[in-house]
Chain A
Amino acid sequence: MKMNFNNPVLFKELKLRFRSPKSFIGILFYLIAMCIFVFGFIFATMTMSGTSYFRPSESFILFGLLAFIQLGLVLFITPGLTAGAISSEREKQTLSILLTTSQSSFQIITGKLSSSIAFLLLLIVAGLPIYSLVFLFGGISPLDFVKVFFFLFVTLLAIGSVGVMFSTLIRRTIVSMIATYGTMLFLSVVTGFIFLIVLQMTAFNHMGTGTPSPSMLGHIIASINPAILFASLLSQGMGDSISEMTQVKFPIWIGYLIFYLSLTVISLFIAVKKLRVNMKRSK
């Protein structure tokens, strides 16, 4: 697979996306919502505490809430942006022509994915000035900030790749979207429930023995849940208590990284392989 940075699909997609007023309106409303939330939170906190200042600890809570808002944004917007990447070309009857060009399947898939990721990154970057407000009040290190953004990027890359994969495999955009949202809900919500059930079952099985046994399955499930990861990033204690519950001393963020990067690679591989028909003789 040759990486070509001069990707015509990427440039075409960006041109089309930013020619439409919808993108700018989307960014505008996102920023307005963020501003209302941040200034509302600061105002409400100061009013309730009866002080005229904002404490660093409160600033950290705001940072944490913003990080979860960004995570929610990534989880809910990415499927919408990527699950129609290929299927919408098919529905608009432009795909067959695109596939007869000399662009490689990898170029087409990465072009589609990159354009969606670029838009999401723009949303996140556009929100940075609002984010920077939390620095004014202290309580957050630049490393916290980098960690949150790095894992946001890993998450959107993986969900985006799953969206593009479903879009390649499924002919209709609506079905592809349902499949991608389903996957996202499984990863972010269902894994949380399964984690709790696994923990309960492990505890139940060892009731009366006095020594809790390690739950590898519980730890793996906890490692693929974005909400648990973000909680552990924002609070070291959260990561430690998960390890205590599962009796597995493997850092959650490493498990998360391995799982989501593998998901990205596998999804992109399937999308690239399935984009064009295999002209070789059927065995």
Chain B
Amino acid sequence: MIEIKGLTKKYGQFKALDNLNLTLSEGTVFGFVGANGAGKSTTFLILATLLQPTAGDVLIDGVNIRKNPEAVRKMIGYMPDFFGVYDQLKADEYLDFYGASYGIPEAERQKLIPQLLELVNLSHKRHAYVDLLSRGMKQRLCLARSLIHDPKVLILDEPASGLDPRARVEMRDILKTLKNMGKTILISSHILPELAEMCDEIGVIDNGRLIAHGSVAEIQDKLRGERVITVRLVGQLDSAIAFFEEDPYVLNIEKLDADDGIRFSYKGTEEDQIILLKRAIMNNIPILSFMEHVTNLEDVFMEITKGAD
């Protein structure tokens, strides 16, 4: 469905995108992860035919965006990270304007608008001025707007940014519905656990380069390296430290802030980890809990953006 080949964007000497290659099949929900300025929005702007690439090509459903941007516009629904609305229009008029802009006949628009408003839970605001809607409602209205021409591909740049937790949950639920409708969705977000939950594939971009691409589990494994284990104890802190120090796979032992346990890095296999726990219990170490710190997408994000401004 989407094929990005050698995509490069330069601003003078600065490379915002550096030879980006990516292929996504139909119905995929792809999450773009990266620090601010990593190149996510630049990629999305090029896909939305709003920015000319310096080099490379993008094909959406076989159509080259360079050769036929008009055809591409009919296939994509784009929601920018920052957008404005026409404050003096009502919610249904707003959708009607964009429907007309896509050449949808009026009779069809009149059927579509209530359906879209229902999809984004805004039926009750149909006749409300856009100006009076909350930020979360405006985001949802903009999402409905991007769906008015039934696009095959949705490009959503930070759709949940600036939303309160409730609005984020609502946005996430709508995106799940769209995923079930079989849309190919490209989404960038800093709300990483949400991406992990709904994305089939994740791409990690840093300094314009795609440094990792795969399923959420694959990315986590790839970037995980050493495990971090937290052991909470009921007393005998020093004897526990002495015990764990003897294990060759245990590194960097440190006491917890509350002085009720220790934390260390572990580079052994999962089998080694099981043996270590058994040995600790047999040596009467008073373990209250033995917990591996699960590396989530947030950690991956922090890891890859380490040192970035």
Contacts and interface: CB of A to CB of B under 8 A. Distances in A.
Q: Is chain B found bound to chain A in the same assembly? A: yes
B308 interface: no
Interface string B61-85: 0000111011001101010101111
B48 A100 contact: yes
Interface stretch (B26-34, B86-94, B208-216, B269-277): B86-94
Interface of B: 45, 48-52, 54, 65-67, 69-70, 73-74, 76, 78, 80, 82-86, 88-89, 93, 97-98, 100-103, 142, 145, 149
Interface stretch (A136-144, A240-248, A274-282): A274-282
A101 B78 CA distance: 9
Contacts of B51: 277
Contacts of A104: 70
A99 B50 contact: yes
Contact of B49 (A12, A19, A20, A100): A100
A100 B78 contact: yes
Contacts of B86: 12, 16, 94
A16 B93 CA distance: 11
A100 B76 contact: yes
A249 to B, nearest CB: 50
28 contacts: A6-B100, A8-B101, A11-B97, A15-B88, A19-B88, A20-B88, A93-B83, A94-B85, A94-B86, A96-B45, A96-B83, A97-B80, A99-B50, A100-B48, A100-B50, A100-B76, A101-B102, A102-B70, A102-B101, A102-B102, A102-B103, A103-B101, A276-B49, A276-B69, A277-B49, A277-B51, A279-B49, A281-B66
B206 to A, nearest CB: 25
A279 B52 contact: yes
Given A94-B86, A100-B49, A102-B70, 20 more contacts: A8-B101, A12-B86, A15-B93, A93-B82, A93-B83, A93-B84, A94-B83, A94-B85, A96-B78, A96-B80, A97-B98, A97-B142, A98-B101, A101-B98, A276-B49, A276-B69, A277-B50, A279-B65, A280-B52, A281-B66
Interface of A: 6, 8-9, 11-12, 15-16, 19-20, 92-94, 96-104, 276-282
Nearest to A278: B52
Nearest to B155: A100
B49 to A, nearest CB: 6
Contacts of B48: 96, 100
Contacts of A101: 73, 98, 101-102
Nearest to A103: B101
3 interchain residue pairs of minimum CB distance: A8-B100, A93-B84, A101-B101
Contacts of A96: 45, 48, 50, 78, 80, 83
A178 B32 CA distance: 42
Contacts, number: 79
A33 B149 CA distance: 48
B89 A15 contact: yes
Contact of A8 (B82, B83, B97): B97
Nearest to B149: A102
A276 B45 CA distance: 12
Contact of B89 (A12, A100, A103): A12
A277 B47 CA distance: 13
Given A15-B89, A20-B88, A94-B85, A102 B74 contact: yes
A97 B66 contact: no
Nearest to B51: A277
A96 to B, nearest CB: 5
A15 B86 CA distance: 11
A99 B102 CA distance: 11
B66 A279 contact: yes
B100 to A, nearest CB: 4
A162 B50 CA distance: 24
A98 B84 CA distance: 11
A18 to B, nearest CB: 10
Nearest to A9: B101
A88 to B, nearest CB: 10
A93 to B, nearest CB: 4
Contacts of A12: 86, 89, 97
B92 to A, nearest CB: 13
Nearest to A6: B100
A16 B89 contact: yes
Nearest to A100: B78
A276 B142 CA distance: 21
A38 B70 CA distance: 53
Nearest to A97: B83
A19 B129 CA distance: 12
B78 to A, nearest CB: 5
Nearest to B103: A102
Contacts of A9: 101
Contacts of B83: 93-94, 96-97
Given A16-B89, A277-B50, A102 B73 contact: yes
Contacts of A282: 52, 54
A101 B101 CA distance: 6
Nearest to B145: A97
